[in-house]
């Protein structure tokens, strides 16, 4: 995680409520009105069901107690307000205790299309609908428990698993491939891009690849580009079954095999 942030999270009052200024509520509304129309036919049914359960307001940033009432009823989870940036230790601790971290700030208008660090829109709109699904929520909690006891080298491999599933995962449905990753679903550009039909040219992007745990653990990624590859699970049972494995044994195997060649250009030095 970055060592500094240009954003500052807003502190809730003793009732857990935050009074957001009008311009920040307007940013939320702009994001919602842009994203909601493109979800049908792209987002997976489990996400859309969760979105329906949450009943997120369009014209204002939701309050965390509103989210907690739904999550606790559906899966036993809650959201926890955090500063703009938290340590990996804190991140894993929260997940292990069924608490999803939410930084209580929203992006500025000049960063409406892309924000390097997660804001309240990304966390609430992108991730919370899937956390209403018990099996997805169980996988997320197990991931937190594993991360809490992993060493820094193991965490780097676990980060690839999280990135390529929870953040940027795709899933097969009876109606075709759909999105379940919160990093995609909170991004207008990536929601449109990730389901483009792969071209016959093997160099074309995006690539859809069947989920394979070892491949995922060994696949490098960059956070500041549209992803060159998306891994597709057959159903959410895939993640539920992962939660029952000793994933650190899988990480050890991936460490021995080493990383795959990246499918992107290296970051240019400034």
Structure tokens at 262: 């990246």
Residue 61 Cα distances to 5, 49, 99, 125, angstroms: 21, 20, 19, 10
| Secondary structure class of 156 (helix, strand, coil) | helix
167 marked ligand binding residue: yes
Estimate the crossing angle of helix 152-162 against helix 134-149, to 10 degrees.
160
Residues 180 and 203 sit within 8 Å (Cβ to Cβ)? no
188 marked ligand binding residue: no
| Secondary structure class of 220 (helix, strand, coil) | coil
Structure tokens at 55: 């009943």
Burial class (CB in 10 A: 0-12, 13-18, 19+), 161: buried
120/62 Cα distance (integer angstroms): 9
208 marked ligand binding residue: no
104/207 Cα distance (integer angstroms): 34
Residues 79 and 102 sit within 8 Å (Cβ to Cβ)? yes
Residues 124 and 222 sit within 8 Å (Cβ to Cβ)? no
Binding site feature residues: 122, 127, 167
- Residue numbering of the annotated binding site for Fe cation: 122, 127, 167
């Amino acid at each position: 995680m970055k060592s500094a942030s240009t954003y500052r999270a807003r502190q809730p009052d003793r009732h857990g409520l935050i009074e957001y200024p009008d311009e920040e509520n307007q940013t939320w509304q702009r994001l919602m009105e842009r994203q909601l129309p493109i979800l049908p036919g792209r987002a997976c049914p489990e996400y859309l069901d969760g979105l329906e359960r949450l009943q997120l307001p369009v014209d204002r940033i939701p309050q965390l107690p509103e989210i907690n009432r739904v999550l606790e009823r559906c899966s036993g989870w809650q959201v926890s307000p955090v500063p703009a940036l938290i340590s990996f230790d804190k991140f894993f601790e929260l997940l292990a205790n069924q608490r999803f971290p939410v930084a209580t700030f929203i992006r500025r208008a000049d960063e409406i299309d892309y924000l390097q660090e997660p804001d309240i829109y990304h966390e609430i709109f992108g991730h919370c609908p899937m956390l209403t699904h018990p099996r997805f929520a169980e996988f997320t909690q197990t991931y937190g428990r594993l991360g809490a006891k992993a060493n820094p080298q193991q965490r780097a491999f676990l980060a690839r698993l999280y990135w390529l599933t929870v953040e940027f995962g795709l899933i097969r449905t009876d109606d075709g491939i759909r999105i379940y990753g919160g990093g995609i679903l909170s991004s207008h550009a990536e929601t449109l891009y990730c389901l483009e039909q792969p071209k016959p040219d093997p160099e074309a992007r995006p690539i859809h690849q069947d989920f394979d745990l070892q491949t995922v653990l060994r696949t490098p990624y960059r956070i500041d580009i549209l992803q060159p590859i998306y891994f597709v699970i057959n159903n959410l049972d895939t993640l539920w079954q992962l939660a029952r494995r000793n994933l650190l044994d899988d990480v050890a195997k991936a460490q021995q095999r080493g990383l795959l060649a990246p499918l992107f250009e290296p970051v240019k030095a400034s």
